[in-house]
Amino acid sequence: MEEKLFDIKTGYASPRNPIALASMAGITDSRFASRFGNAGLVVLGGYNLDELTNEAARKEINRGRSEFVSDNPMEFLEKELEAAKGITTIAVNVRAASLEPFIKAGEIVRKYGAILEINAHCRQPEMTALGAGEALLKDIPRLCGYIVEIKKTGVVLSIKTRANVVNDVELAIAIEKAGADIIHIDAMHPDGMDIGVIKRVRNSTGLFIIGNNSVVDFESAKEMFSHGADMVSVARAVSSNPGIINQLVIDISSFQSMTGWYNAPKHICGGGDLRALAFCCLPVKPCALHGALKQAGLSAEEFMKIKMDFARETPIEYGEGTCFGSMTWCCKITKPCFLRDGALTSSGLSDVEYMRIKKRLSEYILKHRKTAKKN
């Protein structure tokens, strides 16, 4: 059997690639989504699950906004899931004014092997007045209570958040503890997109992260990936450039084929998250490594031991001619270096194999961190 290019998994969901279409109320229904079957994930909705949120959506429509409304929300949800069957992995972004509709929706969505996404993002006043959308961010205990109960349905659960509304690290830690699987972060910031929020959440939790906001091309997608996103999602850019999803899938697939680690972090000194400790040098000079080690609760000696223990009996233990005599301490494959490339050739190791070992090394280091996953 041909090996899968990406190995992406969250609960029972296995998106085939890390590019998602994000939800846009009044636009992203099953019909619209059918044009994006090459995406790894399509988020339908936002759908309104009860009378109150449907009524609120009608008011929004009256003042010119686009919304999906229905008199029979659960029937509508099921019909949409039925129509979207087979497109790709499906998530459904939903709003409700109380817990019960979320639970009903969780049961339906679970039946279809899809993902339920709680909309804790919408800031339309008609919704927030009901305690829906962004109001949930400002009431973390209620949001977490919902998560605990919804997870009892067995559904894979995503929380769509807007950054810089509350403390994003505290929020992410709380929703992970409550049992959510995914955090879908709109990295919005008053001055533009806040890439730092992706890194902070990556360093603080083991949540599956979908990074969102202002992804318009491969460069902007890569920025999200290299700060810790497992997937990236695109909303507005799809309207001006419907081919963008397809192009991103082509670009990230080719990057993955060449490098073996599509969301490899930037080096620590380049602003990367803690996974990048796998690319750090021997701790022999004053540099950003020491701050990162402090964050991970590791002394320089412990860090050296962890890396050397892992590397023993792997091909990266070797590295004659490299800066530190072992590829354990070598840089990312995308950083050009003829010394490392020479060592790779001597070891018969391909670029992809090298990066896969570095990925495992990063997981090993983070498993041994001594601080709670806190920033």
Ligand X SMILES: Cc1cc2nc3c(=O)[nH]c(=O)nc-3n(C[C@H](O)[C@H](O)[C@H](O)COP(=O)(O)O)c2cc1C
Question: Could you give the CA distance from residue 137 to residue 172 in angstroms, rounded to a whole number?
Answer: 10
Stretch of 73-81, 233-241, 249-257, 278-286 contacting ligand SF4, by CB under 6 A: 278-286
Q: How many residues bind ligand SF4 (CB under 6 A)?
A: 17
User: ∠ CA 210-105-87 to the nearest 5 degrees?
Assistant: 55
Q: Does 56 bind ligand X (CB under 6 A)?
A: no
Distances (CA, A) of 119 to 59, 73, 93, 284: 18, 16, 6, 47
Does an H or E element contain 93, and which? strand 89-95
267 scored as a contact of ligand SF4 (CB under 6 A): yes
Considering only residues 65 to 84 of the shown chain, the ones binding ligand X according to CB under 6 A are: 66
**Is residue 304 a contact point for ligand SF4 (CB under 6 A)?**
no
Number of residues in contact with ligand X under rule CB under 6 A: 22
Q: How many CB atoms lie within 10 A of CB 310?
A: 22
Q: How many C-beta atoms lie closer than 10 Å to residue 210's C-beta?
A: 28
Mode of pairing for the β-strands spanning 192-193 and 188-189: antiparallel
Only one residue has tokens 């950003």, namely 288
Residue sitting closest to ligand X (CB): 46
Contact 28, 98 (CB under 8 A): no
> 42 pairs with which residues across the strands?
21, 90
Q: Which does 101 bind (CB under 5 to 8 A by kind): ligand SF4, ligand X, none?
A: none
Q: Which of 28, 205, 322, 362 binds ligand SF4 (CB under 6 A)?
A: 322
Nearer residue to ligand SF4 within complex by CB, 27 or 339: 339
Residue 46 or 228 with smaller CB distance to ligand X? 46
Q: Residue 161 or 226: which CB sits closer to ligand X?
A: 161
Please state, in angstroms and rounded to a whole number, the distance separating the CA atoms of residues 284 and 264. 24
- Tokens representing 141? 């205990």
Comparing CB distances to ligand SF4, the nearer of 107 and 351 is 351
Q: Under the criterion CB under 6 A, does residue 281 sit at the interface with ligand SF4?
A: yes
| Burial state string for 128-138 with b = 16 or more CB within 10 A and e = fewer than 16 | bebebbbbbbe
- Rounded least distance, CB 285 to ligand SF4, Å: 7
| By the rule CB under 6 A, 212 interacts with ligand X | yes
**Choices 108-116, 254-262, 286-294, 367-375 (CB under 6 A): range interacting with ligand SF4:** 286-294
Residues numbered 150-189 forming contacts with ligand X, rule: CB under 6 A: 160, 186
Shortest distance (Å) from residue 341 CB to ligand SF4 = 8
- How many whole angstroms separate alpha carbon 118 and alpha carbon 106? 10
Burial of 260 (0-12, 13-18, 19+ CB in 10 A): buried
| H or E segment to which residue 209 belongs | strand 208-212
With CB under 5 to 8 Å by kind, the binding choice for 280 among ligand X, ligand SF4, none is ligand SF4
The only residue of 97, 110, 115, 121 in contact with ligand X, by rule CB under 6 A = 121
Contacting residue, 109, 234, 280, 298, with ligand SF4 by CB under 6 A = 280
Distance in angstroms (rounded) separating the CA atoms of residues 69 and 128: 17
Chosen residue from 22, 87, 143, 252 binding ligand X by CB under 6 A: 22
- The single residue among 38, 70, 98, 214 that binds ligand X, judged by CB under 6 A, is 214
- Minimum CB distance to ligand SF4 smaller for 61 or for 282: 282
Contacts of 41 (CB under 8 A, 6+ apart): 13, 15, 19, 20, 21, 88, 89, 90, 91, 115, 210, 231, 233
Q: Which of 8, 13, 24, 147 binds ligand X (CB under 6 A)?
A: 24
Distance, in Å, from the CA atom of 38 to the CA atom of 35, rounded to the nearest integer, reads 8
Peptide bond preceding 46: is omega within 30 degrees of 0, i.e. cis? yes
Give the x/- contact pattern for ligand SF4 in 227-266, rule: CB under 6 A: ----------------------------------------
Q: Which residues bind ligand SF4 (CB under 6 A)?
A: 267-269, 279-281, 287-289, 322-323, 329-331, 337, 339-340
In the complex, the residues that contact ligand X under the rule CB under 6 A are 22-25, 27, 45-46, 66, 93, 119, 121-122, 160, 186, 212-215, 234-237
